Amino acid sequence: MASYHFSMGDSSRGPIGLCARVDADSEEQALSRLQDYLAACEDFELKRHVGSEPHIEYCNVYIAVENMTIKDIDEVEDGKEEEDDNSNT
């Protein structure tokens, strides 16, 4: 099993960024797991503390999971390092 890091959008260059790390046996499985997880959420709301900003009623973030692809994976950790570390103990 490997750990796949997804990076979509870029908040250092644009207004929205999203990243996620997913454990899976393949890129396709990682994508499917992330899409299923996000699709199960109706929307994402940025919570605010009472009195923190009285002029903003709400801010929802919508994610089009159907537009996500394995090209959004920017890093893969194969889990071998963790296995090697555990074998030394």
Q: Which residues contact 82 (CB under 8 A, 6 or more apart)?
A: none
In a domain, 9, yes or no: yes
Q: Is residue 89 part of a domain?
A: no
- What total of structural domains would you count in the chain? 1
pTM of the model: 0.70
Task: Tell me the C-alpha distance between 33 and 29, whole Å.
Answer: 6
Domain of residue 34: give its range.
2-77
Strand order in the sheet with 2-9: 17-24, 2-9, 73-77
The predicted structure's pLDDT at residue 22: 96
The whole-number pLDDT of residue 81 equals 60
Considering the domain boundaries, does residue 28 fall inside one? yes
- Of 23, 40, 34, the residue nearest 68 (C-alpha): 34
Tokens of 65: 């999971």
| Residue pLDDT tens, the chain, 89 long | 999 999 988 778 878 888 899 999 999 999 999 999 888 876 666 665 555 666 666 666 778 888 999 999 999 999 876 555 555 65
**Residue whose tokens read 């994402």:** 44
